[in-house]
Amino acid sequence: MRAKMMLNLLFVFILFQSIASNVNNPKTIMPDLPKELKSNKNKVPYQVISKKGITREYQAVPDACRLDNGDILVVFYDGNDHVTYPTPEYPNAGRICLTRSEDEGKTWSNPVVIYDDVNDNRDPHINQMNDGTVVLSFFSLEFEVSEASGSDENTPVYTKEQVAKYGNNPDLLHEQQPENLKKKVRPTGSGKWETKGPYVLKSFDNGKTWENEGKFIATSKPGWNCSAKVKEMPDGTWLLPVYRSEPSISAAWGGVIPSSDRGKTWDAVIPVGKEANLVLAAETDIILLKDKTLYAALRGDRSVVNMHYATSKDFGKTWTPASDIGFVGHAPSFTRLKSGAILLSYRAFCEENGYYTGLRISRDEAQTWEGPYLADKTPGAYPSTVELKDGTILIIYYEEGAQSSIRALRFKMPQLTHEKEFPEPRPLKTLPLN
């Protein structure tokens, strides 16, 4: 810090010396920046890790996990937009890719396709279980043969600039035009689909090879999606967090699906937050607290309904009613640090700048959430965090819009503050990845 201050003072001194000596010469060129300052002038704090090899023009919705051997795996959706429709160029719609780092996020392998059937495979999440099995969870969109028959008076309309920034992401686009908030129909592109899933896929060699076919988890009602990793409980039960929307009653809620035989079979969905009768519109994640309480966070509806939470004292068999967590958030993702602190990374929202990639910290077992912190101004988010060996944090997330990609950013953990709720997002202290 002191060296940087001295460098800045040196530059200011040179600048004023130049002005004083050339005051009568209007054509004098101003002094250039010192080399050390110039080298950082246009640097971005993140690294793009998905634009290599076989990947296509759009990557989104990533997740990361640390393996027992030290590798870091990142999985992500790969297509041509927020939803990839079957076309001659994309006959199988969207697919799931994986990239690996063996050096703490400094470098990444060329992505490989690990799942691609005839549907739009999406929202992949990955975790390694206690027996070493690596489990991928995801869901798919199954398209109808016939396409939608044009638009009607309820179809939202957007500018070219908004579409370029947000792609065809309905959650982000819908709030861009005030008149769209009154419309019941959200943009869905040029075709209709049905949700199919959730699925799990296993690897027994640290993600190098995978089962050929994903296991479909049958539910009593169709339409359950997943956007979280499978978590293992102390009693050996696997839990897959899921969510469901019910447009007919303007409500959505979360749930967990348990497996007592390491993913061979799965029991019925246990709802979380259904009694709230709110649009807890999507993603649910869970984390086990130190007293063995299971804590679930449920995404709220756009910027209208806050994120909510519920708890379970019996590893997910029963749940408390959902309560307001106190802030807007999409796609919650939990990470327990070696220090005991809990990271909650998510797509955040503020009135002044809209959506951004955000982070909160709990140092008291989810009683309070310090923040918000700003990781990146990009509204894509769906972030996931990994603690690196030196104690810094790697956050993986995506940028939304045309030519979207997966970003990796390293930051230093913020110091303890007695101020829990910040009036505006505070930027994280980012560090170079290599």
Identify whether the C-beta of residue 40 lies closer than 8 Å to the C-beta of residue 425: no
Q: What is the predicted pLDDT for the residue at 175?
A: 53
The answer to whether the CB of 263 falls within 8 A of the CB of 243 is: no
> In this predicted structure, which of 27-31, 259-263, 391-395 has the lowest mean pLDDT?
27-31
Q: 128: which 2 tokens? A: 């390694």
Range among 14-23, 35-44, 151-160, 292-301 with highest mean pLDDT value = 292-301
Predicted pLDDT of residue 2: 46
pLDDT higher than 50, residue 198: yes
| Span 221-242, average pLDDT | 96
Q: What does the pLDDT average to over 189-209?
A: 88
For residue 34, give Cα distances in angstroms to 8, 152, 388: 9, 59, 33
- Architecture of the 44-148+188-431 domain: 6 Propeller (2.120)
Nearest to 83 by CA among 117, 110, 27, 121: 121
Whether 343 and 361 have beta carbons less than 8 Å apart is answered as: yes
Higher pLDDT, 193 or 121: 121
What pLDDT, on the 0 to 100 scale, is given for residue 191? 63
CB 62 within 8 A of CB 398: yes
Task: Quote the strand ranges of 205-353, DSSP E.
Answer: 215-216, 231-232, 238-246, 251-259, 270-272, 284-288, 294-298, 308-312, 323-324, 330-336, 342-350
Q: Can you give the pLDDT at residue 247?
A: 83
Alpha-carbon gap, residue 250 to 356, rounded angstroms: 26
CA-to-CA distance for 219 and 271, rounded, in angstroms? Answer: 12
Q: Does the pLDDT of residue 260 top 90, yes or no?
A: yes
pLDDT exceeds 60 at position 91: yes
- Give the per-residue pLDDT at 157: 54
Hey, what's the torsion of the CAs at 293, 131, 212, 398, to 10 degrees?
Answer: 50
Q: What is the mean pLDDT of residues 101-122?
A: 97
Which of 396, 309, 399 minimizes the C-alpha distance to 359?
A: 396
> Which pLDDT value is given to residue 279?
85
Distance CA 293, CA 314 (A): 8
- Mean of pLDDT over the chain: 84
Q: Identify the pLDDT of residue 170.
A: 56
89, pLDDT greater than 70: yes
pLDDT at 173 over 60: no
Better pLDDT: 14 or 205 = 205
Ranges in the chain annotated CATH 2.120.10.10: 44-148+188-431
CA distance 194 to 187: 15
pLDDT value at 342 more than 70: yes
Residue 148 has pLDDT above 80, yes or no: no
Q: What is the mean pLDDT of residues 217-225?
A: 90
Q: How large is the C-alpha radius of gyration of the chain? A: 23
Rounded CA-CA distance 424/377 in Å is 13
Q: What is the pLDDT of residue 193?
A: 82
Identify whether 372 is preceded by a cis peptide bond (ω within 30 of 0).
yes
67 Cβ partners below 8 Å, 6+ apart?
73, 128, 134, 206, 207
Give mean pLDDT, residues 332-353: 95
What's the whole-number mean pLDDT along residues 61-67? 99
Question: Given this model, what pLDDT does residue 26 score?
Answer: 33
pLDDT for the residue 138: 98
- The span from the CA of 10 to the CA of 31, in Å, is 12
**In what side-by-side order are the strands of the sheet with 95-101?**
58-66, 72-79, 95-101, 112-115
Q: Give the best-scoring range by mean pLDDT among 7-11, 55-59, 195-199, 238-242.
A: 238-242
- pTM for this one? 0.82
- Residues 251, 421, 386: CA angle, nearest 5 degrees: 75
> What pLDDT was estimated at residue 171?
55
In percent, the amount of the chain with pLDDT more than 70 equals 79
Confidence of residue 220 (pLDDT cuts 50, 70, 90): confident
